[in-house]
Chain A
C-alpha cells in the first residue's frame, strides 16, 4: 500500500514556474531554490521572452521582476492578464521597488502578490504556497469518460461525505439503484453534504447532488434531504446530465450530415469547414465560452444547408446576381447574411440586433472567401483580406470588434 502511495506522489505533476528576471545571478539563485522544492522552473531574462514562455508553457505561476530591459513588469503582467488563455495564471511581483505606489500599481495590474527584494526564501515559498492554494487551476485535464455502458448496467454513485453515519445512510438508500464507487472509480454522480467541494479526482463534468441531513429541502442552497426520495432525485440528475451529452452528440451528427451535403453540391468543397474553424478561432480570441463556440461552429456548418435546394448553375455563377436569382438565394434557410447597416438578409437586422455569433460567422465567411480563387477574381493574401474587411468595417457592413479579433490572430500567426 505504501509503495502505491509513493508512486502516486511521484506521478503528481510538479508545480511549473516561469521566472522573468533580468539579473542572471538573481535568476540562478531563485531557480535553484525553487527546484530544490520540487518545482519545474523556466527562466526568461526580458519581458518579451517571458510572455512567450508563459503562452507556450502555461505554467502554474509566474514570478515577475518589475524592472526589465525591454519593458516593465507591469506591462508583462497586463499582457498575461489580457489573454484569456493565460489570465488565470497567478503572477507574483518580485521587486526592489518597495514604495506603496509601486505595490498598489503592481497589485492593480492583476498580480496575486508583491514581494519586495531582498526577501527571505522561507517567506517566498510560503507566499507561493498561499497563492497556488488560492488559485483554482482551470486547466486540469478533462478525464476520459468511462467506456460506453452496456444495456441495463447500473450507474455508479460516489458518496463523498465525511460524516460516517450520514455516509452509511446515504449509501444504503442509493444501493437500491446504483453501484457504489470506490474512491478511484469513475462515477456518474458524486453525492456531497452541503457545500463541500467536489473531490479533485472526480471527472470535471460529473453530475453532483448535494444533500442535507436536516428535514426538508433548502431551496436556496438546492440541498436534497436524505430520505426515501433521494435515489429517484439522484437518478434524475444523472439522466439530465446524460441528455446534455446526447444533445451534444446529436449536434455533431447534424454537422456530419451538413458536411456531406455541402461536399456533394458545392463547387467550393471545404469552404464551410474552413469558415467554421475560422469562426471558432475568432470566438476563442473574443473569450467566448465553449458552449457559445459550439453554437458558432454548428451555425457556420449548417448555414449553407439551403444550398442543397439551389440550382448548381446559380452556385457556380460568377459576377452579379439578377433580382430573381438574389431572391432565390435569400430564401435559403438558417443564418443568412445579415449586415450591420440593415441591408442583409433574411431579416434585415441592424447592428447589435444581429447576434454576435452571426456577426462572427459572417466575417469568417467573407475572409475565407477572399482567400480562395473564384471565377471572377484571384485569391488574396490573409493580410490583404484583413485590409479588405477593414474597409467593409469602415463602410459599416461588418462588426469592428470581430474583424479586430481576426486581424490580431492573422498578425499573431504571421499572416501571409
Chain B
C-alpha cells in the first residue's frame, strides 16, 4: 500500500510500498464508456483527481536517450514532472503546484514515488540545485544521477483523466481521453515565473487509454473487466513515455506491438 509522509522540501510525498501490477489498453470511446460504467459501480471516484481535469506530464531523458532505450528493453526509471489544470495549459512547468515523480517500470509492474512541491522547487531540482530525500527505494538517488548525466525535459503528454480507486488504493482504474504528445524545446534559464512553451504537436490518440493498476490479486469483478478489456483492446500499449519518445525521434507511428491473440 502507498505511504504518505511530508518532508522538509516537499509539502507532500507518496510512495508505493511494493511493486504494483500495471496493464494498459487502447480501446474505443464506446468500450471505454462501458468499462468506466462498470468501474463506477464498484469503485468510488478518486478523491485526488477531478474528473476530466488536464494532466500535463513532462518527461526527461539524457542526450543519448538512455532512459528511452532502457524503457524499450523493458526496464527503466522515468523522471517526470506532473501538473494538473482545469483547462489545457499552452505551456509546461507553470507556476503553482507540481509533482516530481519517479516511476520504475518493469514488464508488468511498476514502483512509483512522488513529491508534491512548488514549481520553483521542481525547476531547481531539474537544474541540480537541490536533492530530494530518499526514504524508500533509492529512486531519488537514481534520479539525481540521471540529472548529472544530462537528463532534461524533452517530451510532454497531456490528457483528460477520469480516475476511480478503492479507498485503500489497492486497485485504481483510469481512462485517459484526448491524449496528446508534444515535443518540448527546452531552454535552461533561471527565472521560475514563466511557463515553458510547448513545441510541436507530435500526435493525438484517437482512442481512450484505460489503465488498471493493482496490488496482489484482483477482485472477481475486476478479473472479468480485465478479460473484457483484453478482448476489446486495439493494441497492447507500451507506456505513454515510450509512445511519446517514438514520435519525438521519428522511430515509429507510436505503437508497434500488435494485439496478442
Contact = CB atoms under 8 A, between A and B. Distances in A.
Interface of A: 71-72, 74-75, 78-79, 81-83, 87, 101, 104-105, 107-110, 285-287, 340-341, 350-353, 355-356, 359, 386-387, 390, 393-396, 399-405, 407-408
Contacts of A110: 87-88
Contacts of A340: 63
Contact of A352 (B51, B54, B64, B186): B186
Interface in B71-99: 86-88, 90
Contacts of B160: 105, 108-109
Given A72-B29, A386-B250, A400 B154 contact: yes
Contact of B204 (A78, A355, A386): A78
A359 B206 CA distance: 32
A286 B200 contact: yes
Interface stretch (B5-13, B15-23, B136-144, B177-185): B177-185
Interface residues of B, number: 39
Nearest to B61: A400
B178 A286 contact: no
A149 B161 CA distance: 59
Given A108-B54, A110-B88, A405-B185, 7 more contacts: A75-B206, A78-B88, A79-B201, A350-B150, A356-B185, A401-B199, A404-B248
11 contacts: A74-B177, A105-B178, A108-B53, A286-B185, A287-B197, A351-B188, A352-B152, A393-B249, A396-B65, A399-B185, A401-B186
Q: Which of B88, B198, B200 has the most CB of A within 10 A?
A: B200
Contacts of A394: 65, 249
A387 B88 CA distance: 32
Chain A interface mostly helix, strand, loop or mixed? helix
Most buried by B among A356, A396, A401: A401
A390 B251 CA distance: 8
Question: Which of A74, A101, A108, A405 is packed against the most chain B CB atoms within 10 Å?
Answer: A108
A356 B187 contact: yes
A390 B250 contact: yes
Nearest to B63: A396
B44 to A, nearest CB: 16
Contact of B183 (A78, A390, A396, A401): A401
B202 interface: yes
A386 B251 CA distance: 12
The 4 closest A-B pairs by CB, nearest first: A401-B183, A401-B185, A390-B250, A352-B188
Given A401-B183, A401-B184, A108 B52 contact: yes
A410 B53 CA distance: 33
B249 A101 contact: no
A302 B166 CA distance: 62
Contact of A75 (B183, B197, B204): B204
Contacts of B64: 395-396
Contacts of B204: 75, 78-79
Contacts of A105: 52, 160, 177-178
A404 B250 CA distance: 8
A405 B183 contact: yes
A350 B62 CA distance: 12
Contacts of A286: 185, 197, 199-200
Contact of B51 (A101, A285, A341, A386): A101
Nearest to A72: B29
Interface in B180-223: 180, 183-188, 197-202, 204, 206
A107 B178 contact: no
A390 B152 CA distance: 19
Contact of B178 (A78, A285, A352, A393): A78
A87 B202 CA distance: 17
B235 to A, nearest CB: 18
Contacts of A78: 88, 178, 180, 204
A351 B150 contact: yes
A316 to B, nearest CB: 33
Contacts of A109: 88, 160, 178
A410 B166 CA distance: 47
Contacts of B88: 78, 81, 108-110
A394 B180 CA distance: 22
A412 B234 CA distance: 27
A287 B53 CA distance: 25
A98 to B, nearest CB: 16
B87 A352 contact: no
A101 B32 CA distance: 14
B250 A407 contact: yes
Contacts of A350: 63, 150
Contact of B185 (A75, A353, A402, A408): A402
Contacts of A405: 183, 185, 199-200
A404 B183 contact: yes
A71 B204 CA distance: 12
Given A401-B154, A401-B199, A404-B183, A108 B86 contact: yes
Contacts of A402: 185
A74 B66 CA distance: 35
Contacts of B177: 74, 105
Nearest to B64: A396
Given A74-B177, A108-B160, A386-B250, A351 B63 contact: yes
B47 to A, nearest CB: 17
A404 B199 contact: yes
